[in-house]
Amino acid sequence: MNREGKIFATFLGIFLFAYFVPLATPSFSAEASPVAAKVTGAIIEAFVLLQWYARNHTLACVIPALFIAGAITTFLTKESVLKHLGPKANKAEAYSVASVSGTVLAVCSCSVLPMFAGIYRIGAGLGPAACFLYAGPAINVLAIFLTARVLGFELGVARVIGAIVFGIIIGLLMAVFFRDSEQERTEATMAMPDQPASKRPLWQSAAMLAAMLAFLIFSDWFNPGDKEVQLTDGTQFAATLQYETSESYDLRLKSAALGHEASEVVRLAKSEVSSIEDVETWVTQIHHNRWYLAGVMGILVAVMSVIWLDREDFGQWMGNTWEFSKLLIPLLFGGVFVVGFLGALIPEKQVAAFVGDNSLLSNLIASLVGCLFYFATLTEVPILEALMRNGMASGPALALLLAGPALSLPSILVIRSVIGNKKTAVFVALVVVMATVAGMTYGTFFPSESSIGVEAIADVSTSSINPLEP
């Protein structure tokens, strides 16, 4: 087996392990060794998150995005990218397109990474590329509506305005800070040999990319996870599904039930659950039919590939996709595991206790949490709802909303591999600082109706149900 085959076999083995390994929370005495119990639980939760990521985001999200990145590199010429997104492109056009891209893509930070890497490597300016990188996952039209419905109209409006403005400002500042190095990169790109004249008209390449983007949108369509749950003893309650394994459900309670408060996360064995049904909305309807819709787009891409691509084109596309896969997949899986481990060590109640006012420190902590921890598409809304119920102030809530969807530890690792340490550090710093300032400003004009101090956040005792949060 050659080197590339061994790398692929390793990736496949890790993915299959994460996908199929049976997971269950072991029984141990927390009183006997509280530190060991905490660490053991964190390791288990890290594997649970990794499995959830493998089952729900890898095949439906990351893999399609990698193929799109490969297609961008293969089918788009550097001249066309430089014309519309390069350093000398019309700034109004370049930043407008990049800043509103999220309304079309509706993807998370991990999904936008391959596309960011693709356009940047074939000549897109750092400014428009950074704007796209931030705004792509931040301006998710479904997330905007869900934020307004669940967290309040003012917070929803502040999120969309902040995300658009942030994307443009961050892009412009990145272009200014690194104009010298970007000029050198542009000159090097222009010095590269011109690609052979395209064998296809532009509309064919655009049609293929559009069909692949539609496949990504449908395959990664978000299910809000709102459930009506009935237990075998007849108990009924509403909850949001957080994770599912072969043996259990992790559910965030919508209201007080089972001896736990609203927003608590509980783990129920599947043997205890009589039925668990979706709360039907148009979003869940699309989610139920997402694979049929994605399948139609996939068939369309396959047909167009057979008709329009020759063997050389197809081989180049697959080769570019594989190069992006080798770069991104190890960083994403490793980052998700670390985030799962850290998230279990720092429960939501503890986070909420540090962000209960509109101080500089509270907003900074919220921004840092948002930048480091992974939030899948739209999951930041129910998580933030739980944090606000536990005492999180409105300012830090907006700070987390503006920092969370655009960044995470896995995405930071990938961004570093594409643009380098210095540019990544500046990008992250800009997101943190601007999210912090925006949170403080919003909290001043729209303060929380009430806040809960550390003393008011009490631990919830358990009986037969094991909460994920201590």
Reference 221, options 303, 339, 141, 309; nearest CA is 141
What is the amino acid identity at position 73?
T
Q: Which residues contact 432 (CB under 8 A, 6 or more apart)?
A: 364, 367, 368, 371, 403
C-beta of residue 358 within 8 angstroms of C-beta of residue 443: yes
C-beta of residue 416 within 8 angstroms of C-beta of residue 328: no
Which tokens hold the place of 465?
Answer: 């149900």
Report if residue 18 sits inside a domain.
no
Over residues 202-209, the mean pLDDT reads: 86
Is 190 in the same domain as 316? yes
Is 180 in the same domain as 75? yes
Reference 253, options 56, 44, 468, 53; nearest CA is 468
Number of domain units in the chain: 2
Report if residue 206 sits inside a domain.
no
C-beta of residue 112 within 8 angstroms of C-beta of residue 72: no
Report if residue 219 sits inside a domain.
no
End-to-end CA distance of the chain: 48
Residue 19: pLDDT over 60: yes
| Residues forming beta bridges with residue 250, ordered by sequence position | 243, 267
83-87, 234-238, 449-453: range with highest mean pLDDT: 234-238
For 376, list phi and psi in degrees, rounded to 5. -65, 165
- What is the percent of the chain where pLDDT is above 90? 18
CA 375 to chain centre: 5
Tens digit of each residue's pLDDT (9 = 90 or more) over 367-412: 998 888 877 666 677 677 777 877 888 899 899 988 887 788 888 9
Over residues 38-56, the mean pLDDT reads: 79
Alpha-carbon gap, residue 57 to 243, rounded angstroms: 13
Is 332 in the same domain as 437? yes
Burial class (CB in 10 A: 0-12, 13-18, 19+), 16: exposed
Is 84 in the same domain as 184? yes
In this prediction, residue 456 carries a pLDDT of 30
In this prediction, residue 31 carries a pLDDT of 62
In this prediction, residue 197 carries a pLDDT of 52
Residue found under tokens 């060590």: 345
Residue found under tokens 């009924």: 236
Residue 353: pLDDT over 90: no
Is 79 in the same domain as 175? yes
Is 97 in the same domain as 187? yes
Element at 242 (helix H, strand E): strand 236-244
Over residues 169-188, the mean pLDDT reads: 85
- Among 7-11, 138-142, 254-258, the least confident range: 138-142
Report if residue 290 sits inside a domain.
no
In this prediction, residue 30 carries a pLDDT of 56
For residue 258, give the CATH number of its domain: 2.30.30.100
Q: Considering just the CA atoms, what is the radius of gyration of the chain in Å?
A: 23
Report if residue 22 sits inside a domain.
no
Is 63 in the same domain as 185? yes
Is 232 in the same domain as 365? no
Alpha-carbon gap, residue 210 to 57, rounded angstroms: 20
In this prediction, residue 401 carries a pLDDT of 87
Name which residue leads in pLDDT, 413 or 26: 413
In this prediction, residue 184 carries a pLDDT of 78
In this prediction, residue 28 carries a pLDDT of 56
List the domain range (segments joined by +) for residue 358.
48-199+310-456
Over residues 61-83, the mean pLDDT reads: 80
Is 273 in the same domain as 315? no
Residue 267: Cβ within 10 Å count: 20
Report if residue 213 sits inside a domain.
no
C-beta of residue 230 within 8 angstroms of C-beta of residue 273: yes
Residue 465: pLDDT over 50: no
Which tokens hold the place of 293?
Answer: 């819709």
In this prediction, residue 450 carries a pLDDT of 40
Name which residue leads in pLDDT, 364 or 182: 364
Is 382 in the same domain as 336? yes
Which DSSP symbol is given to 342?
H
Q: Which residues of 180-201 are buried (b: 16+ CB within 10 A; e: fewer)?
A: eebeebbeebeeeeeeeeeeee
Reference 371, options 333, 342, 391; nearest CA is 342
Long-range contacts, 326-331 (Cβ 8 Å, 24+): 326/7, 327/117, 327/414, 327/417, 327/418, 328/62, 328/66, 328/113, 328/114, 328/117, 328/414, 328/417, 329/11, 329/62, 330/11, 331/410, 331/413, 331/414, 331/417
Q: Is the pTM of this model over 0.75?
A: no
Report if residue 301 sits inside a domain.
no
For 404, list phi and psi in degrees, rounded to 5. -65, -55
Report if residue 260 sits inside a domain.
yes
Is 320 in the same domain as 377? yes
C-beta of residue 460 within 8 angstroms of C-beta of residue 467: yes
Is 317 in the same domain as 185? yes
